[in-house]
Structure 1
Amino acid sequence: MLDWVPVADRIDLLADPVAKAVQETGADLRVAEIDPALSDTAAFCERYGVAPEDSANCVIVAGKRGGEVRYAAVLVLAEDRADVNGVVRRHLDVRKVSFAPQAEAVELTGMEYGGITPIGLPAAWPVLVDENVTRRDFIVIGSGVRRSKLALSGKALVAATGAEVLSLAM
């Protein structure tokens, strides 16, 4: 059972860049502490009884254009796959896009792998959110660390991140 509390009550459960972003935006979020060994989506959903359609995955992608590396966060429901090589590649205007290497994603975000979230990412990075995520009144996302999860509505997620809403799911 998850014990969701206002994020202001447990800011210690967030990665530093996430905590800073939450405090700056005043986003209405809830946080719950979890077993870090169960942070991966499938294990988390099974153990804590969260439906995959109420959970979203955030991945960091990178593409190059003219020698410049372009990063973005891509968020889709846990039950969906993102069209990285189609919609995301065209949106970033790059020839090829791939998932950012784990060490690179961790270093650039200041977050733990398996807990990366769209809140608190570098300001220059676009946050691309699938339209299905925005339709959810309750969505669980990472907190920047593996030992907790955040919950908010899809619309609040877009507001907190300045996300671009696209049709990303395949």
Structure 2
Amino acid sequence: MTNTAAALHPTVEEFLQKFGLVYKIFECDPDFADTAQFCEKYGFSEGQSANTIVVAGKADPLKFCACVILATTKVDVNRKVCKLLGVKKGSFATGDQTKELTGMQIGGVTPFGLPDIPIYIDSAVLAVSEAILGGGNRSTKVLLDPRELLKIPHVEVIESLGIPKN
């Protein structure tokens, strides 16, 4: 773990500094950036790993949002997210859509430094004592008290945004 921001995605680093979030950087092997492999290799639980997932609402033009949920859950796209976006259908954004929209690689997407899209955080994320999130790339993660996420402008906390995995 390091306190230097050298390895963070530049947009993420700038955002964290601008909004005064208190965090630590955790460097990782890019081959182990995906949640399950990361948690197993570095000793984190999926209950403290917060994933940022970009969802596309089927509209013309598409409506995007970012959902932050614990890795023990999955995004309730069809009921919660579609209602929040005001659309009838939604799906996970493709890898290409996510990269184009965020400038971040899958496995490193984070709510820090996103374009002007809604950011929804599952209330369960705020209940853990420490959360680890993507650093904008596959070689870093951001470790923080999840209440720091409330410093993100226009973030909205949603009850049951994440639903248990079957």
TM class by smaller structure: over 0.9
Q: Does 1:38 align with 2:32?
A: yes
Q: Does 1:130 align with 2:118?
A: no
Cα pair 1:15 1:110 within 8 Å, conserved = no
Report the counterpart of residue 136 of structure 2 in structure 1.
Answer: 144
In 2, the alpha carbon distance for the partners of 1:35 and 1:160 equals 27
Pairwise mapping of residues 80-119 of structure 1 onto structure 2 (< 5 A)? 80-119=73-112
Normalising by structure 2, what TM-score?
Answer: 0.92
* Cα-to-partner distance string for 1:82-120 (whole Å, 9 max, x where unaligned): 111110110110111111111111111111121000110
In 2, the alpha carbon distance for the partners of 1:154 and 1:133 equals 7
Identical aligned residues as a percent: 36
* Cα-to-partner distance string for 1:112-151 (whole Å, 9 max, x where unaligned): 12100011000x2011110000112200000000001101
Cα pair 2:69 2:121 within 8 Å, conserved = yes
In 2, the alpha carbon distance for the partners of 1:113 and 1:144 equals 9
- Taking only aligned residues, the RMSD between alpha carbons, in angstroms, comes to 1.2
After the TM superposition, which parts of structure 1 deviate over 2 Å for at least 4 consecutive aligned residues? none
Paired residues in the alignment total: 162
User: How far is the alpha carbon of 1:64 from its aligned partner?
Assistant: 3.2
The DSSP-based 3-state class of the residue aligned with 2:14 is helix
User: How far is the alpha carbon of 1:161 from its aligned partner?
Assistant: 4.9
Report the counterpart of residue 17 of structure 1 in structure 2.
Answer: 11
In 2, the alpha carbon distance for the partners of 1:160 and 1:95 equals 27
Cα pair 2:133 2:143 within 8 Å, conserved = yes
Normalising by structure 1, what TM-score?
Answer: 0.90
User: How far is the alpha carbon of 1:158 from its aligned partner?
Assistant: 2.2
Pairwise mapping of residues 46-61 of structure 1 onto structure 2 (< 5 A)? 46-61=40-55
In 1, the alpha carbon distance for the partners of 2:154 and 2:142 equals 17
Higher helix share: 1
**Unpaired segments of 5 or more residues in structure 1?**
none
